[in-house]
Amino acid sequence: MDITGRSALVTGGATRVGKSLTLALAGAGADVFVHYNSSAGPAEETASEVEALGRRAAVGGANLSDPAAAAELVAAATDALGPISILINSASGFPKDSLADATIEGFRSTLDLTLASPVFLTQAYAAALSGEADGAVVNVTDVKTRRPYLDHFSYVIAKGGIDTFTRAAARALAPRIRVNAVALGVILPPPGEDDFYAEKLAAAIPMKRVGGTAPVAAAMLALIQNDFLTGEIVRVDGGGHLV
Ligand SMILES: NC(=O)c1ccc[n+]([C@@H]2O[C@H](COP(=O)([O-])OP(=O)(O)OC[C@H]3O[C@@H](n4cnc5c(N)ncnc54)[C@H](OP(=O)(O)O)[C@@H]3O)[C@@H](O)[C@H]2O)c1
């Protein structure tokens, strides 16, 4: 797919990983709808950076803890920028819990934000992209779905659902819409943690360094641009899954 002139919706596109995906899409020629939840100011700043790259931008807030917000968000993006060809599901929570202390309420709320919202965003996006138009979805998942975290229990189950959803949606939406995912390892320290926290984790992986967001953006672009890839989950983890 040639990204030039396409419109994209990036959830959680205002900050950190999501911001780098927004700017990479704009750099490749896309107009971008920057979704945010609490980061209204950063969303406006990110939109200005998109415009500085010569592309159109729009911003919109939605609390995706309620998957019912998905259809309205896709409609807002379509109203602002025209048919959305590219959907990036990056917004997520990262709550701490374990099998021992998980609650039904917490588990449901994590599944709603991190799994159900991407599912219903993809449903609404595919329904809105009618006719002959082609499209690409990239989900953002976590390499830890293979060897799961013990202390982000609900989160890792939800991301495991994203892995399966990526494959199921790839089948359901082919051949018009391709659905792939990037599975991240040590990319940035989690919110509230410092660089030292991530560097300690990175010391244990083959590449021996924190990835930063650039390799994630490069992998996302490759998945969108390669028209024969669907149902693929690309690890961006410096070889962390090998050890
Ligand atoms: N950082 C890493 O090393 C790493 C590793 C593995 C996987 N990942 C995955 O990569 C993606 C981005 O990671 P990140 O570290 O940049 O995430 P992050 O800093 O935790 O940001 C999460 C994003 O999700 C949005 N969000 C949170 N709660 C929301 C809600 N209720 N409704 C709508 N949006 C909500 C936030 O929007 P606002 O800021 O507007 O509230 C924010 O943009 C996530 O899917 C994460 O699971 C990251």
pLDDT higher than threshold 90 for residue 131: no
- Return the sign of the alpha-carbon dihedral for residues 230, 59, 72, 213: positive
**Ligand 1: centre distance to CA 132 (Å):** 32
Q: Is 41 in the pocket of ligand 1 (CB under 6 A)?
A: no
**Ligand 1: centre distance to CA 147 (Å):** 21
Atom in ligand 1 nearest the alpha carbon of residue 43: 40
Q: Is 128 in the pocket of ligand 1 (CB under 6 A)?
A: no
Q: What is the pLDDT of residue 191?
A: 86
Q: Is 84 in the pocket of ligand 1 (CB under 6 A)?
A: no
Measured at the CA of 90, the angle between CA 45 and CA 178, to 5 degrees, comes to 120
Q: Is residue 57 part of a domain?
A: yes
E strand or H helix that includes residue 50: helix 40-52
- Average pLDDT of the chain? 97
* Spatial contact of 69 and 63, defined as CB atoms under 8 Å apart: yes
Tens-place pLDDT, residues 194-211: 999 999 999 999 999 999
Q: What is the pLDDT of residue 226?
A: 98
- Nearest CA to 23 out of 40, 47, 4 is that of 47
CA 203 from centroid of its chain's CA atoms? 26
- Nearest CA to 223 out of 170, 158, 187, 162 is that of 170
How far is it, in rounded angstroms, from Cα 144 to Cα 198? 15
pLDDT higher than threshold 90 for residue 130: no
**Ligand 1: centre distance to CA 64 (Å):** 11
Q: Is residue 187 part of a domain?
A: yes
Tens-place pLDDT, residues 36-88: 999 999 999 999 999 999 999 999 999 999 999 999 999 999 999 999 999 99
How far is it, in rounded angstroms, from Cα 30 to Cα 85? 10
Q: Is residue 226 part of a domain?
A: yes
**Ligand 1: centre distance to CA 4 (Å):** 26
Number of neighbours of residue 25 by Cβ within 10 angstroms? 29
CATH number of the domain residue 160 falls in: 3.40.50.720
The total domain count for the chain is 1
Q: Is 91 in the pocket of ligand 1 (CB under 6 A)?
A: yes
Q: Is residue 237 part of a domain?
A: no
Q: Is residue 242 part of a domain?
A: no
Q: Is 90 in the pocket of ligand 1 (CB under 6 A)?
A: yes
Burial class (CB within 10 angstroms; exposed 0-12, middle 13-18, buried 19+) of 55: buried
E strand or H helix that includes residue 177: strand 177-184
Inter-CA distances, 135 with 21, 80, 174, Å: 17, 18, 10
Nearest protein CA to atom 26 of ligand 1, as residue: 91
Cis bond before residue 175 (omega within 30° of 0): yes
Put residue 189 in one of left, alpha, beta given phi > 0 → left and psi -120 to 50 → alpha. Answer: beta
Atom in ligand 1 nearest the alpha carbon of residue 13: 43
Nearest protein CA to atom 16 of ligand 1, as residue: 17
**Ligand 1: centre distance to CA 131 (Å):** 32
Domain that holds residue 134: 7-230
pLDDT higher than threshold 90 for residue 22: yes
Percent of the chain topping pLDDT 70: 100
How far is it, in rounded angstroms, from Cα 202 to Cα 224? 28
Q: Is residue 47 part of a domain?
A: yes
* Spatial contact of 225 and 219, defined as CB atoms under 8 Å apart: no
